[in-house]
């Protein structure tokens, strides 16, 4: 009788533990999906910022020719699959931002000299 009661208690405890494991697996899958979606949105935003900076640089240089980075998938949307989202090459955004800063400074310096000449 005692043995039967202990076996029954162990079976109940085992079922509770299995339910806990199943719940944790389900929550893990939900969290992994959320992380993946957030990563995708952040990568998309980074790509859009990169394209915008390249576009501004191109405009400031006076180039009407579309930048190669801009012509390749700058119109991605959130429904795109991960494989089609382009990653900004390491250092490229920083380099482009430095170029934008230089071009902007050149433009400001040019305006200052025009004002001084008047």
> Phi/psi of residue 20, each to 5°?
-60, -45
Number of domains in the chain: 1
Whether the CB-CB separation of 78 and 41 falls below 8 Å is answered with yes
Whether the CB-CB separation of 105 and 111 falls below 8 Å is answered with no
Whether the CB-CB separation of 49 and 93 falls below 8 Å is answered with yes
Written as tens digits, the pLDDT of the chain (118 aa) is 999 999 999 999 999 999 999 999 999 999 999 999 999 989 999 999 999 999 999 999 988 555 555 555 444 444 444 445 678 877 899 999 999 999 999 999 988 777 676 6
The pLDDT, as a whole number, for residue 114 is 72
> How would you class 80 by CB atoms within 10 Å of its CB: exposed for 0-12, middle for 13-18, buried for 19 or more?
middle
Residues 6+ apart with CB under 8 A from 49: 93
The pLDDT, as a whole number, for residue 116 is 72
The pLDDT, as a whole number, for residue 66 is 56
pTM for this model (two decimals):
0.62
The pLDDT, as a whole number, for residue 2 is 93
Q: Is the dihedral of CA 24, 29, 35, 41 positive or negative?
A: negative
The pLDDT, as a whole number, for residue 63 is 81
The pLDDT, as a whole number, for residue 65 is 54
Question: What angle do helix axes 2-61 and 92-117 make, rounded to 10 degrees?
Answer: 30
Range of the domain at 68: 2-117
The pLDDT, as a whole number, for residue 89 is 79
Q: 103: closest CA among 69, 65, 54, 61? A: 61
């Amino acid at each position: 009788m005692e043995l039967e009661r202990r076996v029954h208690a162990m079976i109940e405890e085992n079922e509770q533990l299995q339910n806990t494991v199943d719940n944790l697996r389900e929550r893990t899958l939900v969290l992994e999906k959320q992380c993946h979606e957030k990563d995708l949105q952040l990568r998309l935003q980074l790509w859009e910022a990169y394209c915008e900076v390249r576009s501004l640089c191109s405009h400031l240089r006076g180039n009407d020719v579309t930048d190669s980075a801009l012509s390749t998938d700058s119109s991605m949307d959130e429904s795109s699959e991960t494989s089609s989202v382009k990653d900004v090459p390491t250092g490229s955004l920083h380099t482009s931002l430095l170029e934008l800063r230089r071009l902007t400074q050149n433009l400001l310096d040019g305006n200052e000299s025009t004002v001084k000449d008047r």
